[in-house]
Amino acid sequence: MDINDVIRDVVPGRSFVDIGGLWGTVNERVSVAVNGGASEVTMFDHAPVESELWSLFHQRCVEQGAAGYRAIHGDLDKDEQTAQLGTVDVVHCSGVLYHVPNPLLTIERLARLTGRWLLLGTCTLPERIENADGALDLSQGRVVFAPALNAADRAVLSAYYNERGIQLLGINSPHAFTWGAPGAWDYSPWWWHWSVETVARMVELNGFTVRQTFENWAGLSHYLICERN
């Protein structure tokens, strides 16, 4: 299954917002929603207005034949900025949740925006990881907060990502990194690591039924297709 197919299925005649969709440019879903017949489409991202990511996004929309969308610079965790969105029928948010300071608060804010469908993508881990360095259990709602990892669990997680060719700041990257440096929250690292089962429960606590989950990015992430109760 592909998230673009889900979007095309649910957006005709409905409003749509892509939250945090600028990173990577080609992962934006605005053009999919516009071309899928959505009634109103918005890109909402915290990237500075002068960032090249915005110009790359607009260029891609031109290439995809998508026009008439709104583009809003804003922070999901700031009420005065999300107020610009109102209630949106279909909310898409991927690649954000594991970077934020308070994921439960972020899900709550997504829930406030969502009229019917929340399409939530997040990196995930299996409920149990075993390799030559040991084992890591993420069943029963266990969550890894990366700065709190001990050396043994960090080794297990590092081996897991090394096997998949992924380098993460503060986990297995060769680049020096200090958790909790003074200043604004650093959205670069993967602060949180969890199973899809745990994220599904977090979403359900905010008034949704998870209709479906499916793997993405060769099993490194999942999409949760969530409908408001």
Domain boundaries, the chain: 3-123+195-228, 125-193
CA distance 225 to 229: 13
Q: Which of 69-83, 107-121, 202-216 has the lowest mean pLDDT?
A: 69-83
Q: What tokens appear for 207 in the block?
A: 């008034």
Summarize pLDDT for 139-154 with one digit per residue, the tens.
999 999 999 999 999 9
Stretch 162-184: mean pLDDT: 89
Q: What is the pLDDT of residue 37?
A: 98
Q: What is the pLDDT of residue 24?
A: 87
Question: Quick check: 167 and 161 in contact, CB under 8 A?
Answer: yes
Q: What is the pLDDT of residue 180?
A: 78
CA distance 46 to 44: 7
CA distance 119 to 91: 6
Q: What is the pLDDT of residue 185?
A: 85
183 has a pLDDT exceeding 80:
no
Considering the segment(s) 3-123+195-228 as one domain, its CATH architecture is: 3-Layer(aba) Sandwich (3.40)
Q: What is the pLDDT of residue 35?
A: 98
CA distance 208 to 34: 25
Q: What is the pLDDT of residue 80?
A: 85
What are the b/e assignments for 110-130, b being 16+ CB within 10 Å?
bbebbebbbbbbbbbbebebe
